[in-house]
Amino acid sequence: MDLSLAGDKKRPRRSSRARAPSTVGSFQHDILCTIFSFLDCFDLASCSVVCKSWSAIINKSKLLQLFYRKQWQTGLFGSSNWSKECPEKSWNDYLEEMAVERHRLALQEGRIRVDHLRGHSVGGEQCRTKMGLLLTGVGDKVMRLWSLESYKCVGEYPIPDRFRLVDFDFDESKIVGLVGTRICIWRQNGISRIFPSHEGTFSKGLCMRYCDPEAVVGCEDGTVRVFDMYSRKCSQIVRAHEGPVKCLCLSDDQLILSGSSLGDVTLSALSSGERVVKLRSQDSSGIKTLCFNPCSHQVFAGTATGYGLCWDLRMGLLWKTRVSQNSVYSMQHQRNDASTLAVGGIDGVLRLLNQNTGEVISRCILDGYLSPSSQNTLGATQRTRGRRLSEDTTIDSILRSCRPPITCLAVGMKKVITTHNSKYIRIWKFDRS
């Protein structure tokens, strides 16, 4: 009887508690709507993935839609028709469109700050960036993984002394390296290294790209070899070129793009190894770097004599531009950006090109000097400015200290990362605000 009465007494208290969150929740909803209304679209997008309740508030109040309407009305997206396009696109598509446009404007018009990160004791020659992370290495027998937000080293991956690191790539769980004549795997969450069996050995690899589950290696004998990371076997040997394969890139639709020292570019099917098409550069000096833009179906190449080339896979050669008087070592673009191409090479000038015409939009160099005493510690950073050169400035008149050779570059949102075969990694940040 007492238990029954106790139970009866508790029921109204539970009911009153159940009503309280409704009032508080409504109050919190109004406060959050007010706060969210002061944020820009990218902050709103970040808030929308914090939790389900925040996502519901942002989506139900149509804050993203209102923000995009304002951007459209100010002409940020040219002649886009709001009423016709709005129902057909997801808001993620609009956010991506705005982000890419801001990236383009920042690279072409923004002021430049350069963060100098001491990443290696000697010879940081190559870099790759994905998912807010930066992987660097080659000279000092260790690869390092950095956070691009904090510049903290989040992983170190040593190379065995008897092997030379030729090339590397990574994804969210592993580092894959071309080490000597073998493929090597490092797990990001551990220190173990996995060396493949003798079937992973080949004569001499010059470059490598990785897309799970395959590592693709360009070889000195003109072949491209495809290795399955799980079976540890060579699954394909593609007879791509007559001369050494100097550079590679992979497309999302299972194509291997390879450039040779003889100046031609070949597209081959990853699944069958069959050659699909051969692109000729008419430059026998050799292809030094390649990249592919799936948005525009365009292939970009840089040559040893300083030319930049672009082919549209549907139309053929679009343009050929003398970018530099010296060799072009690296060219890249931000994913989904069909406007701007970053190019670097032996003369140390960071160039920004129009992807559709080959026009050099801007030439950038370092401006200012580093303090040697502040750069003695691994991971130490120092900030200087960068500047854009006027059209009539001759490259030879600029001090070499302001333009160390760019051996490799990677492109992130409103930033370009460069390596210079030295202990410094440079992060060029472009900002219009």
Complete domains list, the chain, with CATH:
113-370+379-431 (2.130.10.10)
Residue appearing with tokens 């396009």: 85
Write out the two tokens for 86: 């709005």
pLDDT digits (tens, 9 = 90+) for 298-315: 999 999 999 999 999 988
Q: Is residue 101 exposed (0-12), middle (13-18) or buried (19+ Cβ within 10 Å)?
A: middle
Q: Which pLDDT value is given to residue 254?
A: 87
pTM over 0.75: yes
Across residues 239-259, what is the average pLDDT?
93
Residue appearing with tokens 């550079």: 247
pLDDT digits (tens, 9 = 90+) for 181-236: 888 888 876 555 555 544 456 678 999 999 888 999 999 999 999 998 888 888 89
Q: What is the mean pLDDT of the chain?
A: 84
Across residues 258-280, what is the average pLDDT?
90
Q: Which pLDDT value is given to residue 7?
A: 44
Residue appearing with tokens 């073998």: 182
Count Cα atoms within 13 angstroms, Cβ side, for 248: 31
pLDDT digits (tens, 9 = 90+) for 130-183: 999 999 998 778 999 999 999 999 999 988 777 789 999 999 889 999 988 888
Residue 213: cis peptide before it, omega within 30 degrees of 0? yes
Cα angle for residues 236, 183, 252 (degrees, 5° grid): 55
Across residues 76-80, what is the average pLDDT?
49
Q: Which pLDDT value is given to residue 74?
A: 61
Q: Which pLDDT value is given to residue 9?
A: 44
d(CA 286, CA 136): 25
Whether 68 and 91 have beta carbons less than 8 Å apart is answered as yes
